[in-house]
């Protein structure tokens, strides 16, 4: 699977985990040069608190467009150390 934004592959892995229709990529598969920490946080009742990354490609910033669970609840243990995408980031095979 590949995550693409603004014409750039920002993550690529054959080992994604699908939860609620979202592909969670291993953290090691993201191209960290495109990611910076965001202050944005959300809470999911069964997964826990999510932290976010801003994604920047070619001078354009897609705010809080990647998320991860630093300490997911036990029901979501399979997404530990994984990152998912939204806000226009395309995930394709």
* Contact assessment for residue 52 and residue 40, using Cβ atoms and an 8 Å cutoff: yes
- H helix or E strand, kind and range, residue 33: none
Q: Domain tally for the chain?
A: 1
Distances in whole angstroms, Cα of residue 38 to Cα of each of 2, 5, 46: 22, 17, 22
**For residues 46-50, average pLDDT:** 98
pTM beyond 0.75: yes
Count Cβ atoms within 10 A of the Cβ of residue 91 and give its class: 0-12 exposed, 13-18 middle, 19 or more buried. Answer: middle
pLDDT score recorded for residue 80: 98
Write out pLDDT tens, residues 17-45: 999 999 999 999 999 999 999 999 999 99
pLDDT score recorded for residue 77: 98
pLDDT score recorded for residue 42: 98
Q: What's the token pair of residue 24?
A: 């969670």
Domain that includes residue 31, residue range: 2-92
pLDDT score recorded for residue 93: 95
pLDDT score recorded for residue 21: 97
The CATH number linked to 74 is: 2.170.150.40
């Amino acid at each position: 699977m590949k995550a693409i934004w603004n014409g750039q592959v920002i993550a690529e892995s054959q080992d994604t985990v699908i939860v609620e229709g979202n592909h969670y990529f291993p953290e090691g598969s993201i191209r960290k040069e495109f990611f910076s920490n965001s202050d944005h946080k959300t809470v999911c009742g069964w997964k826990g608190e999510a932290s976010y990354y801003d994604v920047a490609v070619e001078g354009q910033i897609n705010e809080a467009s990647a998320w991860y669970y630093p300490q997911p609840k036990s029901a979501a243990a399979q997404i530990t150390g994984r990152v998912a995408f939204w806000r226009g980031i395309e995930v394709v095979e």
